[in-house]
Chains A and B, each alone.
Chain A
Amino acid sequence: MTAANEIIRAAEAEVCRPWLRHILTQSDWAALAHASAAESWILLAHWADTIQAHALFLDPDALTVVPVSTPIESGLYPALSPVLPGAAWYERMIHDLWGHEAFGASDLRPWLDHDAWPQHHPLAMRPHPNTAAETPALVGIDQDGAMILPLGPIWGQIDEAAHLRLTLNGPAIRRAESLLGFTHKGTLSLMRGKSPRAAARFAARLSADATVAHSVAFAQATESAMDAQVPPRAAALRIVMLETERIAAHLDNLAEVGRLADAQAVRTRCGFLREILLRASEAAFGHRLMMDCVVPGGIAMDIAEGGSQVILRALGDIASQLSGIRRLHDSGALPAQLTGLGPAGRTLATSLSVGGVAGRASGRAFDVRTMFASDYSGLSPRIAIRTEGDAAARQHLRIFEIEESLRLVGAALKALPDGPITVALPQVSGEGIACVESIRGDVWHWLRLDHGQIAAAFPRDPGWALWPLAERVLENAAANDAALIRASFALPASGMDL
């Protein structure tokens, strides 16, 4: 047995369906951090509540998910970031929201808290009133002749709010540093004390292009916590919505990258096809983005009469154009621009636990649909992997995934079971975790219920992994390519700003 597993076995555990959450002493927590780094365990998420710090690990050999916790002692807990660099931003977030300090942390600057809220540590038992504190400062470089290019928070043409500061040496980027938290809306505090049904509206608004993925992950975490089973019809329709969302988002990304790379044919075709699909979604599910269509216990509304046909017709239109879109990515100006652009290596992607298209394009075969999603088992989704890790590989994978999702939606609609679409949820206490493969990678939702109401929750958006990866990839890239690299990662902001 490995050292990490030994630490886990020895600890007492609480039920956190479908897994066990192990409560470690602070010294064991620190030991686990070292053991996990040695055994290449992957840190999926790191968060806290008022009394404990939590971390979610993936054991890649056994393919198990390991939630662990450690008590906060006089406001402190041992930091993970010295051994697991991916934990640094989480630790800054935990400090800003709950006030727990990670001792020995590599970075303790504020993250979400830009000193504009009326109080500090808003999720702590007793928040502090705001008395002028430090604002987040960026590191930068002390180097003669370096030029600093600050971008955002209002940037691009139509973009999410984030700040990226590039330190340039001539046309080359020497350092890229991002500052997020601008769109922090206090989602976690709004969810607390509400019923899962009411809180689902906030889960659906974490990141609108992945609204179905976040809604399904939140709903499944609630259902695990309550040990409830959704009816098969609801489960099948959730898959239809998830895959429809994936097709729409990938088309949107192809169009956006096409726009930035001056490939107007790609932009026009993909934008048009996406609009057709969105109109079909509205006809079938009542909302273009299918926001609020998934609720804990099932789905909000059954698919409209004739909705299947409308969706299938839209999918047929997309399928007929797909080979043309692929051709445009195979030859001509687009591959010339995208090949070799923004390469991300497999080691880096794995260490930062980057999933989704970005992870698979760099050779990391990680897709939770094939691992932890039992609803997909009848459909056996195929995943593709590329090893180049560059923007061209990411766009090719997106086209492949559109094709695969077309098949999955078709298969799910064909075998759509009859029956109810919701199940009544009991007013019980419990804890649950669930994951869903969103358009950018794995989304994880954890929550704890107290007599049917949310006591604590945390959603882990893929942005937590994508932004650090993008920072590293931007270093040594040309400043002119920054926008295109950013678009090819589809960097989100709202989902991780909470």
Chain B
Amino acid sequence: MTWKPRLRPQPEPAAPLDPETTQSLCARLEAAAQTRLGRSLAIRHVNTGSCNGCELEMRALSNVLYDLERFGLRFVDSPRHADVLLVTGPLTRNLRTALEQAWDATPDPKWVVAVGDCAVDGGVFKGSYAVLGGTGLSVPVDLTIGGCPPPPSRILAGLRTLLEANTR
């Protein structure tokens, strides 16, 4: 004969939730998460023939004084992981396919930012046989950041504007 407890402690079945409260909490959480956590952009740098001046200033964005990542901005290794293509250089003819492939690989919604005078309109290299002259001639550009090269503070300001616009 097996012993069976008469008083077996068991949780009671849960009462149904109030759907109205759930709904309103959901909405509040989503709004809070969007403003607090949703402010993040993954950036892929695409070099289209830059002299590496813009790259130097973009690399400076990761140093402790600018600390790009505190704004939720980070550089990623593949355009497939990116929200933003940060394009530098006057768009040489030899790199046009590379830029278009990177653009195709980036999932929608995506933004293209042209960094530096070269990427804006070809800069000093305008009119060369080897240069198309600006990112906009190959893919649609959303934001341009001028300068030769633009200082990190200006690149950062541009990216933060994009972040702000993205969360609205």
Q: Which residues of A contact B (CB under 8 A)?
A: 114, 116-119, 122, 153-154, 156-161, 181-187, 189-190, 201-202, 205-209, 211, 252, 255-256, 268, 271-272, 274-275, 278, 282, 288-289, 291, 492-494
Cβ of A208 and Cβ of B95 under 8 Å apart?
A: no
* Bound: A321/B38 CA distance, A: 38
- By a CB distance below 8 angstroms, the chain A residues around B56 are 208-209, 252, 289
Task: Select the stretch in B5-13, B41-49, B159-167 that faces chain A.
Answer: B41-49
Tally chain B residues at the interface, Cβ within 8 Å. 44
Cβ of B63 and Cβ of A118 under 8 Å apart?
A: no
- By a CB distance below 8 angstroms, the chain A residues around B127 are 190
With A160-B52, A185-B130, A207-B52: A272-B63 Cβ-Cβ less than 8 Å: yes
CB distance from A389 to the nearest CB of B (A): 26
Cβ of A205 and Cβ of B53 under 8 Å apart?
A: yes
The residues in B between 36 and 70 inclusive whose CB is less than 8 angstroms from any CB of A are 45-60, 62-66
Cβ of A153 and Cβ of B47 under 8 Å apart?
A: yes
With A158-B45, A184-B92, A186-B128: A278-B52 Cβ-Cβ less than 8 Å: no
- By a CB distance below 8 angstroms, the chain B residues around A201 are 124
Determine which of B125, B129, B131, B149 lies in contact with A208 in the assembled complex, contact meaning CB atoms within 8 Å: B149
With A185-B130, A185-B131: A158-B125 Cβ-Cβ less than 8 Å: no
With A208-B56, A271-B62, A289-B149: A183-B49 Cβ-Cβ less than 8 Å: yes
Cβ of B51 and Cβ of A122 under 8 Å apart?
A: no
Cβ of A207 and Cβ of B49 under 8 Å apart?
A: no
Cβ of A159 and Cβ of B102 under 8 Å apart?
A: no
CB distance from B65 to the nearest CB of A (A): 5
Cβ of B63 and Cβ of A271 under 8 Å apart?
A: yes
Asked whether any CB of chain A lies closer than 8 Å to the CB of B94, the reply is yes
With A182-B49, A289-B149: A117-B129 Cβ-Cβ less than 8 Å: yes
Asked whether any CB of chain A lies closer than 8 Å to the CB of B93, the reply is yes
- Smallest Cβ-Cβ distance to B125: which chain A residue: A185
Q: A117-B130, A157-B75, A208-B50 are in contact. List 9 more A-B contacts (CB 8 A).
A: A117-B129, A182-B95, A183-B51, A183-B92, A185-B128, A272-B64, A282-B151, A289-B53, A494-B52
24 CB < 8 A contacts A-B: A114-B94, A117-B130, A154-B46, A156-B77, A157-B76, A158-B58, A161-B95, A183-B49, A184-B49, A185-B92, A187-B125, A187-B128, A207-B51, A208-B54, A208-B56, A209-B52, A211-B51, A252-B59, A256-B59, A274-B63, A275-B63, A282-B151, A289-B53, A291-B148
- By a CB distance below 8 angstroms, the chain B residues around A278 are 60
Asked whether any CB of chain A lies closer than 8 Å to the CB of B134, the reply is no
Cβ of A205 and Cβ of B64 under 8 Å apart?
A: no
- Smallest Cβ-Cβ distance to B126: which chain A residue: A190
